[in-house]
Amino acid sequence: MTSDEREAFRNSPIEDVIAERKLVSVDQNGQSQNVTIQIGRPYQVDEYEAACSLALYGWTGRLPEIRNTDSLGALCLAIRVAKIIMTGHLQSGGKVYWTEDRSEELSVGAVFPTQITPPME
């Protein structure tokens, strides 16, 4: 794959998006950019493997398909890879916010929650 083909792939859309989150990212130099995290519907590749699309537009772009033995495994790994990339951004001095006004700085746990929140009454 040529560098032009890689760049075209990184910017290509995911066909069947099942989850999306939009953020504002600020790097260690204060440069701001919009980030859209998208995860595609997992699909069966063959009898023994499933794959899931993942893109972090604004950071890495679209990544190669995330693969595992079944669709749940592929989906879980795609989420894990997105968390790892965001963690790297934060560890390098970057920050993440919900909106451009930067009123609430986010942690990995805020973007990728791991605790069940009781319903509001």
Condensed to tens digits (0 to 9), the pLDDT of residues 19-61 reads 999 999 999 999 999 999 999 999 999 999 999 999 999 999 9
For residues 56-75, average pLDDT: 96
Structure-token pair, residue 100: 């451009």
pLDDT of residue 120: 78
pTM of this structure: 0.90
Q: Where are the domains of the chain?
A: 3-111
Who wins on pLDDT, 63 or 102? Answer: 63
pLDDT single digits (tens) 109-121? 999 998 887 887 7
Share of the chain above pLDDT 70, in %: 100
Nearest-10 Cα torsion for 95, 89, 25, 82: -120
The single-letter DSSP state of residue 27 is -
Q: How many CB atoms sit inside 10 A of residue 80's CB?
A: 13
One-letter amino acid at 9 equals F
